[in-house]
């Protein structure tokens, strides 16, 4: 997997960090965080924290930090193919596909996503080595019943890919199904408790509230030692104030409170400090992605998460564009380049995100893979040593010469530079002759070719049968 | 003008800097630099440097550094509208439009550029405050005679814009014309010698060679104390080795040698350390822009130029794409975001660059303006203080609430976030209703509207008449 060997870009001074530290402490002590699940509230109460109005927990910041400190700084996440297991934290960066989209875009067609789309997008995620995980709800399979579609999704993730996957968080029982299916795939409870076999996204119902469904899933996963990403969901102007410092303080309050809860439930449970921070377009009232504010949030969040010793999640190829155009591309890179600069450890929405996250797009998936490939190349440090100076090449070529035929070039021309997947450097005449296709049209050819060439990773027949049996049984129990 | 108040992103260790330092010293002492103009060679010889084979100058690195140290660390560049004068160096960043393109793209039409295009592109450069200068050869006016078109270009730059402009470098006499026209516009030789009224691009004929035309222009401008940008032209694999460190050492050797020459001619002449560093696509043999290598070059060059105390030029909206698609956008930002991270002081090709620099594109111009606006916002440091925490907003809204109606929001909603020029956050249905235009189609409407609303900045009638008279007379002298 990718290790980011370049320096981190940090913009917060010590004074700024002190201001933010004061900010989150004030929020948790004077306002508190609402936990809309009795079991969660009782955990805090039993640990000596004050509870107001039934579910609002007033937190002692030192208590929060003491529990946050129990979370591992880094952890492994296992894949059923051990070569695809990943390490979350440190200088490592793991990339997962887009998550949570009700719609799909394929060329000029935008439609409700289906199970077929879900499976295709998992296949694409499996095919590209730039992705460490297909993620979870890569799109909503709207043609499957709501109550049992999580079973179809988890099974597709487990069988069509051999990379780590994300679990269902729509309810506690759905999380339990994910855990059970992980036990089947990985050989029992002990195996997945020793090293987590899933990582799941717990969104905060920001501001300052965790809802019962997400909390039930959190509790289930934490008890099974499955990894969690605790993510305040912050569109400034809607879920947080129209101020970056204020929003960062809120993000710290919300994330740290949730992380403390995971450690109350199971000390040492692997957990990731999550960030999903952008802003509302105050003219349209719509969420806005790939914004300057979002990039600033990324730089700051990396620094903040590291100050708590926590692995962190943010970034992705976020944008608001309706189609795979210049806007989709510059907004996506306006988030993804800061993601690398800030060194995010777990990156959701790395491929396929379009239209403010409403759409999983096949062509955008390919554009994002190209961006990931470029950035992985860019953030791999190079050696500056005597040999790299290649003085012999200068001697050979001399003033006014040309390096294409130099011995130094001929020895290295295959590997010396980044080689694009999607981008074209063809001259205009040749490009025209080859059809004059823009990047989006070329991306369409590339994803189709990738699906055609996809090979399903092998899976033991007995395990497959057991998984299928589980899905069939549970679907029936759920009435679908 | 824009002041970049964010930290610089630097990736070179002290050891790496020492390796590069050794590299350029070895090149200038063991190979030397060719200067294909006797006057330049004589300057070096008279100052005690060894000359081999008639025009190859073997340089003492200490001699080079001694002269480089005479160049100002920062300098002013005057505009005929004093409010548009700029300061080059320090944390300041000045942005100029694309430069040197023989073709123009307007919508789906690609054609030879004309004087009408030149004028339109100057008007666009004048209209957008994100640009500090229209640059110089914003496109080649191919419908004007080759020998005298520099007069038409300088006159258009002087009359259609009141921002600083770049001078002709196609020959010594053409540079003299630029200087003479500057004298007319700014009120005499003394006025432009006191503060330069033009900045001109001297490209090195890399590797390790300055040609006679560029040198003649360099000499003319330096004598008149006009600002110069000395730029090695480095496409790795063609004009330099396929190694970033080796190319950076070559860039230092070439740029420092040329800068030393400017200071031999006129100590204190304002000069900029230039960088134009990308790579060849080793599969197609074409130049490749917006690459990871180019971004790494940018990070390094900023650090190198600062180590010599020199203002520096690099960056822009570079890309290889044939059309204004996703590739054009991600490649452009892949260069422009590093331009801001590295804090380039003078940025050519900031708006309009397409197709590896062969094309000035109207729609791309608008895409680039949007990118510039976003990055200027992103690289403006924000305050992290007690007030920015906006605790009152959290108190007012509380857990589960919404910030749109909060007092803190209502007081700030107009100015709190970046407001896009081109990007759309419209929901899909509304976007469809409004024509379903992608970013490039919307850009087309925006540049046309800008040209329609353009107002020519006032110019004294007597000065205008004198400039016109000069152009007419010189055109006749040149036989056109």
Convert the pLDDT of each residue in B10-43 to its tens digit.
999 999 999 999 999 999 999 999 999 999 999 9
Nearest CA in chain A to B373: A292
Position B158 scores a pLDDT of 98
Contact B164, B453 (CB under 8 A): no
Q: What is the pLDDT of residues B96-105, one digit of tens each?
A: 999 999 999 9
> How far apart, in whole angstroms, are the C-alpha atoms of residue A64 and residue A58?
11
CA proximity to B420, closest of A345, A326, A127 = A326
pLDDT in tens, A231-274: 999 999 999 999 999 999 999 999 999 999 999 999 999 999 99
Task: Report pTM.
Answer: 0.98
Taking an 8 Å cut-off on Cβ atoms, the answer to whether B19 and A244 are in contact is no
- Asked whether the beta carbons of B320 and B354 are under 8 A apart, the reply is no
CB contact at 8 A, A339 and A347: yes
Closest by Cβ to B329, choosing from A236, A329, A341: A329
Residue A394 near residue B250, CB atoms below 8 Å? yes
Give the model confidence (pLDDT) of A61-83 as tens digits.
999 999 999 999 999 999 999 99
- In this predicted structure, what is the pLDDT of residue B58? 98
Enumerate the residues of chain A whose CB falls inside 8 A of the CB of residue B395. Answer: 30-31
The CA distance from B122 to A264, in Å, is: 64
What residues pair up with A109 in beta bridges, in sequence order?
A: A106
Q: Which residue of B has its CA nearest to A367?
A: B326
Among chain A residues, the shortest Cα distance to B30 is held by A395
- Contact list, A341 vs chain B (CB under 8 Å): 9, 341
Query: Nearest-5° angle of CA A57, CA A63, CA A67?
Result: 105
Which residues of A are less than 8 Å from B296 in CB distance?
Answer: 378, 382
Distance separating alpha carbons of residues B133 and B363, to the nearest angstrom = 19
CB contact under 8 A, A327 and B424: yes
Phi/psi of residue A241, nearest 5 degrees:
-65, 165
Q: Are A451 and A365 in contact (CB under 8 A)?
A: no
Query: Can you tell me the mean pLDDT for B290-302?
Result: 98
Q: Which residues of A touch B334 (CB under 8 A)?
A: 333, 337, 374, 378
Kind and range of the H or E run holding B354 = strand B353-354
Percentage of chain B beyond pLDDT 90 is: 99
Q: How far apart are CA B18 and CA A14, in angstroms?
A: 31
Number of H helices, E strands in chain A: 17, 20
Dihedral sign, Cα of residue A98, residue A102, residue A107, residue A108: negative
With a cut of 50, which residues of chain A have pLDDT below it?
none
Number of C-alpha atoms within 13 angstroms, CB side, residue B422?
31
Q: Provide the token pair at B247.
A: 């190319």
How far are the Cα atoms of A57, A265, B198, B409 from residue A42, in angstroms, in the given order? 10, 11, 72, 35
pLDDT value of residue A15: 98
- Name the H helices within A187-291: 189-194, 212-223, 244-265
Strands of the sheet containing B198-203, edge to edge, are: B2-3, B92-95, B346-347, B312-313, B271-274, B227-231, B198-203, B165-166
Map residue A312 onto helix, strand or coil.
Answer: strand
**What pLDDT, in 10s, does the model give residues B311-335?**
999 999 999 999 999 999 999 999 9
Q: Identify whether the C-beta of residue A23 lies closer than 8 Å to the C-beta of residue B389.
A: yes
Residues 6+ apart with CB under 8 A from B19: A384, A385, A386, A388, A389, B245
**Distance (Å, rounded) from C-alpha A291 to C-alpha B14?**
35
User: How sure is the predictor about B284, in pLDDT bands with cuts at 50, 70 and 90?
Assistant: confident
Contacts of A158 (CB under 8 A, 6+ apart): A80, A165, A181, A185, A459, A467
**Option in A208, A328, A399 nearest B56 (CB):** A399
Give residue B134's pLDDT: 98
CA B67 to centroid of chain Cα atoms? 24
With beta carbons less than 8 A apart as the criterion, state whether B321 and B281 touch: no
DSSP E strands in B281-349: the ranges are 287-288, 312-313, 346-347
Average of per-residue pLDDT across B397-414: 95
Nearest CA-CA distance, residue A93 and chain B, Å: 18
- Give the closest-approach CA distance of A403 to chain B in angstroms: 5
Chain B hits for A358, Cβ within 8 Å: 428
Q: Is A187 helix (H, G, I), strand (E, B) or coil?
A: coil
Task: Answer positive or negative: Cα dihedral of A251, A252, A258, A259.
Answer: positive
Judged against a pLDDT cut of 90, whether residue B283 lies above it is answered with no
Which residue does chain A place closest to B411, by CA atoms?
A242
For residue A236, list chain B residues with Cβ-Cβ distance below 8 A. 403, 416-417
Going by the DSSP 8-state scheme, the letter that residue B29 receives in this structure is I
Q: Give the DSSP letter string of A332-394.
A: HHHHHHHHHHHT-SEESS-S-EEGGGTEEEHHHHHHHHHHHHHHHHHTS----STGGG-HHHH
Residue B101: predicted pLDDT? 98
**pLDDT tens per residue, range B421-430:** 999 999 999 9
Nearest CA in chain A to B397: A207
Of the candidates B427, B431, B480, the residue with the CA atom closest to the CA atom of residue B152: B480
Mean pLDDT of chain A: 98
Helix (H) or strand (E) holding A288: strand A287-288
Peptide bond between residue B207 and the one before it cis (omega within 30 degrees of 0): yes
CB contact under 8 A, B389 and A243: yes
The residue among A79, A158, A156 whose CA lies nearest residue A119 is: A156
Contact B207 A23 (CB under 8 A): no
The tokens of A164 are what?
């780590």
Question: How far is it, in rounded angstroms, from Cα B438 to Cα B443?
Answer: 9
Average pLDDT of chain B, as a whole number: 98
**CB pairs A-B closer than 8 Å:** 395
Strands A50-52 and A56-58, sheet pairing: antiparallel
A186's tokens: 């990985």
What pLDDT is recorded for position A454? 98
Choose the closest CB to A334 out of B333, B388, B398: B333
pLDDT of residue A314: 98
CB contact under 8 A, B423 and A236: no
């Amino acid at each position: 997997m990718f290790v980011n060997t370049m320096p981190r870009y940090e913009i917060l001074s010590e004074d700024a960090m002190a201001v933010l530290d004061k900010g989150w402490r004030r929020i948790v002590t004077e306002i508190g965080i609402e936990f809309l699940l009795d079991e969660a509230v009782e955990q805090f109460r039993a640990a000596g924290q004050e509870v107001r109005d039934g579910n609002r927990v007033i937190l002692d910041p030192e208590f929060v930090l003491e529990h946050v400190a129990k979370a591992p700084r880094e952890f492994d996440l296992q894949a059923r193919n051990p070569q695809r297991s990943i390490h979350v934290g440190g200088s490592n960066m793991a990339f997962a596909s887009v998550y949570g989209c009700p719609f799909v875009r394929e060329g000029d067609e935008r439609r409700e996503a289906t199970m077929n789309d879900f499976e295709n997008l998992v296949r694409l995620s499996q095919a590209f080595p730039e992705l460490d995980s297909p993620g979870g709800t890569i799109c909503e399979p709207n043609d499957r019943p709501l109550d049992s579609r999580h079973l179809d999704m988890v099974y597709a993730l487990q069988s069509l890919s051999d990379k780590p996957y994300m679990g269902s968080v729509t309810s506690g029982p759905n999380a339990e199904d994910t855990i059970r299916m992980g036990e089947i795939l990985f050989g029992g409870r002990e195996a997945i408790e020793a090293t987590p076999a899933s990582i799941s996204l717990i969104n905060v119902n920001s501001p300052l509230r965790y809802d019962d469904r997400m909390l039930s899933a959190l509790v289930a996963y934490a008890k099974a030692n499955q990894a969690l990403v605790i993510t305040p969901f912050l569109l400034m102007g809607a879920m947080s104030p129209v101020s970056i410092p204020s929003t960062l303080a809120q993000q710290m309050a919300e994330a740290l409170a949730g992380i403390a809860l995971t450690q109350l439930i199971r000390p040492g449970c692997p957990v990731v400090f999550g960030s999903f921070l952008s802003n509302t377009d105050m003219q349209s009232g719509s969420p806005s992605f790939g914004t300057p504010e979002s990039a600033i949030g990324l730089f700051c969040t990396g620094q903040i998460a590291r100050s708590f010793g926590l692995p962190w999640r943010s970034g992705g190829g976020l944008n608001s564009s309706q189609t795979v155009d210049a806007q989709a591309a510059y907004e996506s890179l306006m988030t993804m380049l800061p993601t690398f600069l800030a060194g995010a450890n777990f990156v959701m929405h790395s491929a396929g995100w379009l239209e403010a996250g409403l759409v999983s797009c096949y062509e955008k998936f390919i554009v994002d893979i190209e961006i990931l490939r470029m950035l992985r190349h860019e953030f791999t440090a190079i050696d500056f040593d005597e040999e790299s100076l290649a003085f012999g090449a200068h001697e050979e070529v001399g003033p006014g010469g040309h390096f294409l035929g130099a011995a130094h070039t001929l020895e290295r021309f295959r590997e010396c530079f980044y080689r694009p997947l999607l981008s074209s450097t063809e001259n205009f005449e040749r490009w025209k002759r080859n059809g004059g296709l823009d990047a989006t049209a070329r991306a369409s050819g590339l994803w189709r070719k990738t699906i055609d060439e996809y090979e399903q990773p092998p899976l033991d027949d007995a395990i497959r049968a057991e998984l299928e049996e589980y899905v069939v049984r549970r679907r029936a129990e759920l009435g679908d």
